[in-house]
Chains A and B, each alone.
Chain A
Amino acid sequence: MSSTEYASAVAAVKAMESSLLTHSDMEQLINARTVSELKAIAGSKNAEASTLEDVWEMIRSYAPDSRELTILLYKNDFHDLKAGLKAMFSGRDADEYYIYPSNIESGILKKLLSSKEFDSLPAYMAETAAQAYDLLTRTMDGQLSDSLIDSSALAAIQRDSDSFGGAFMQKYAQLTTVCADIKTAYRCALMGKPRQFMEIAVCGSRELDKESLIRAAMGGVESLMAFLESTSYKDAAAILKESPAQFEKWCDDVIMEHAESARMQAFGVEPLAAYYIAKEAELKNLRIITVCQECGADRETVMERMRKLYV
């Protein structure tokens, strides 16, 4: 599809970008003395006027072809799969655990899982659903099943961005996978998880080879850091060594920096994807400020956790 096909959608998104919260808006929110003051400021800036689901619906309605954009929702889809399977095994209702927006309507997902019609799920998750169900049936190990689903989500993001995504989405997939793999390997190294577990939990990518990452994590945290320092992610290693919370922030920030590369584009699907990522980060920042305010955290703590903004 020609990039100019997205002219209308990109123009609409650019108009919507002007309503994203700026640095000074965030400053005002951080400086709020009470939760009610924070809510009043957020309300005055229409900060919570639209949910991520509204944003997604809006982007989808403007985009002439939203197939590539659906990759952005894979992580939500796979999260919902985890919630659905666990609810099935524990006999609970998963409704409150589903994340929106997603590519599969929660009612349909629930129905397909309960009837074990895994083949009727979207192709990118059908096999994973069957494998995770089988794993849970055999082992009742929720953590292992979650790890399988998480690494399959990353594999699906990479595979589909290679198959029908452009360079922007491929880079997004690569960054998402690398960040998640480093976090997984770090946790596995800390907890001394066996190789068998890591082989399921680590996805691997062109940037960070799965086998090398597992081998490094098997040697403990120091060995993992030494490995990361030998790659192009040595900055990440330094931050992770300092603070895992800072590393989480770094992960979100590198994806935001990537999204910023699409900000100047006048045509194409990229500005739409970037806007979705920007809105996601904005809502995350609002949650961070709210939680910190509720916990009585100081300004410095809030600032440390604030994610990079798009505007």
Chain B
Amino acid sequence: MNSLGLALAIVGAACAALFAGIGSAKGVGLVGEAAAGVVSVDPNKFSKVLILQLLPGTQGLYGLLTAILLLSRIGVIGGNAAALTVSQGIMFLAASLPIAIVGLFSGIAQGRAAAAGVGIVAKKPEHSSKGVIMAAMVETYAILALLISILLIYNISI
């Protein structure tokens, strides 16, 4: 039963990295497409669109961070895995869900917002910072989810 608890916690770490990573990949990919469209017409705008393309990439990093913290907390990274009960395993799995789910959707949503911001860079490059700000607003929710996931991970007693 102990190994099931550990397995559930590892599934949680995998979910955090996996779903947040998917969200970022989709978001970065979408902005990349839009950015490539602009750069194909005006290569001088590369640096401005690159900033927008980087924005949806953070969710993947938050997922990775959560996964590493979780694996570290349960001793997997140190090579001394804790013997977790099923309920502890479920708690760790639940702790990873905020960043996993919010990371997935916010990554996609931020990608859409940033791709729309690429349109601002294309037409009015002097207002490109507004596009960055609008896309960055989505980031708030990914940060909140990351915060909750970390708080949960560090407050589950082993």
Residues of A within 8 A of B (CB): 4, 7-18, 62, 266-267
Tell me whether A10 and B123 are in contact (CB under 8 A).
no
In the bound assembly, the distance between CA atoms of A12 and B45 in angstroms comes to 12
Tell me whether A15 and B33 are in contact (CB under 8 A).
no
Secondary structure class of chain A's binding surface, majority of residues: helix
Considering the complex, which residues of chain B in the window 38-88 have a beta carbon less than 8 Å from any beta carbon of chain A?
Answer: 38, 40-42, 45
Closest A residue by C-beta to B36: A8
Tell me whether A8 and B34 are in contact (CB under 8 A).
yes
- Shortest distance from the beta carbon of B52 to any chain A beta carbon, whole Å: 10
Asked if B35 is an interface residue, CB under 8 A from chain A, the answer is yes
A sample of 24 cross-chain residue pairs with beta-carbon separation below 8 angstroms, ordered by A number, consists of: A4-B30, A4-B115, A7-B37, A8-B36, A9-B37, A10-B34, A11-B33, A11-B34, A11-B36, A11-B38, A11-B122, A12-B37, A12-B38, A12-B122, A13-B37, A14-B38, A14-B122, A15-B37, A17-B122, A18-B122, A62-B40, A266-B115, A267-B112, A267-B115
Closest A residue by C-beta to B49: A11
Which residues does chain B contribute within 8 Å of A4, judged by CB atoms? 30, 112, 115
In the bound assembly, the distance between CA atoms of A13 and B112 in angstroms comes to 17
Question: Which residue of the partner chain, among A7, A12, A266, A267, contacts B41 with CB atoms under 8 Å?
Answer: A12
**Chain B interface extent, by class:** 10 to 19
Tell me whether B123 and A15 are in contact (CB under 8 A).
yes
Which residues does chain A contribute within 8 Å of B122, judged by CB atoms? 11-12, 14-15, 17-18
Which residues does chain B contribute within 8 Å of A16, judged by CB atoms? 41
Tell me whether B115 and A14 are in contact (CB under 8 A).
no
Tell me whether B119 and A10 are in contact (CB under 8 A).
yes
Tell me whether A15 and B42 are in contact (CB under 8 A).
yes
Asked if B14 is an interface residue, CB under 8 A from chain A, the answer is no
List 14 other contacts, CB 8 Å, given A11-B35, A267-B116: A4-B30, A7-B33, A8-B33, A8-B37, A10-B34, A11-B34, A11-B115, A11-B118, A12-B37, A12-B41, A15-B42, A266-B115, A266-B116, A267-B112
Which residues does chain A contribute within 8 Å of B31, judged by CB atoms? 7
Question: Which residue of the partner chain, among A17, A18, A62, contacts B37 with CB atoms under 8 Å?
Answer: A62
> Contacts A4-B115, A12-B40, A266-B115 hold; do A18 and B123 have CB atoms under 8 A apart?
yes
Tell me whether B115 and A17 are in contact (CB under 8 A).
no
Tell me whether B34 and A15 are in contact (CB under 8 A).
no
Which residues does chain B contribute within 8 Å of A7, judged by CB atoms? 30-31, 33-34, 37, 115, 118
- Shortest distance from the beta carbon of B157 to any chain A beta carbon, whole Å: 44
Which residues does chain A contribute within 8 Å of B119, judged by CB atoms? 10-11, 14, 266
> Contacts A4-B30, A18-B122, A266-B119 hold; do A11 and B112 have CB atoms under 8 A apart?
no
In the bound assembly, the distance between CA atoms of A8 and B41 in angstroms comes to 11
Secondary structure class of chain B's binding surface, majority of residues: helix
Tell me whether B115 and A15 are in contact (CB under 8 A).
no
Tell me whether B36 and A14 are in contact (CB under 8 A).
no
Which residues does chain B contribute within 8 Å of A14, judged by CB atoms? 38, 118-119, 122-123
- Shortest distance from the beta carbon of A65 to any chain B beta carbon, whole Å: 14
In the bound assembly, the distance between CA atoms of A11 and B115 in angstroms comes to 8
In the bound assembly, the distance between CA atoms of A139 and B133 in angstroms comes to 67
> Contacts A7-B37, A8-B34, A62-B37 hold; do A15 and B45 have CB atoms under 8 A apart?
yes
Considering the complex, which residues of chain B in the window 92-129 have a beta carbon less than 8 Å from any beta carbon of chain A?
Answer: 112, 115-116, 118-119, 122-123
In the bound assembly, the distance between CA atoms of A267 and B119 in angstroms comes to 10
- Shortest distance from the beta carbon of A11 to any chain B beta carbon, whole Å: 4
Closest B residue by C-beta to A14: B122
In the bound assembly, the distance between CA atoms of A304 and B19 in angstroms comes to 59
Which residues does chain A contribute within 8 Å of B45, judged by CB atoms? 15
- Shortest distance from the beta carbon of B140 to any chain A beta carbon, whole Å: 21
Closest B residue by C-beta to A16: B41
- Shortest distance from the beta carbon of A14 to any chain B beta carbon, whole Å: 4
Which residues does chain A contribute within 8 Å of B37, judged by CB atoms? 7-13, 15, 62
- Shortest distance from the beta carbon of A268 to any chain B beta carbon, whole Å: 12
- Shortest distance from the beta carbon of A279 to any chain B beta carbon, whole Å: 14
Q: Which among A4, A9, A13, A18 has the highest number of chain B CB atoms within 10 Å?
A: A4
In the bound assembly, the distance between CA atoms of A194 and B156 in angstroms comes to 88
In the bound assembly, the distance between CA atoms of A259 and B115 in angstroms comes to 21
- Shortest distance from the beta carbon of B54 to any chain A beta carbon, whole Å: 16
- Shortest distance from the beta carbon of A186 to any chain B beta carbon, whole Å: 39
Which residues does chain B contribute within 8 Å of A10, judged by CB atoms? 34, 37, 119
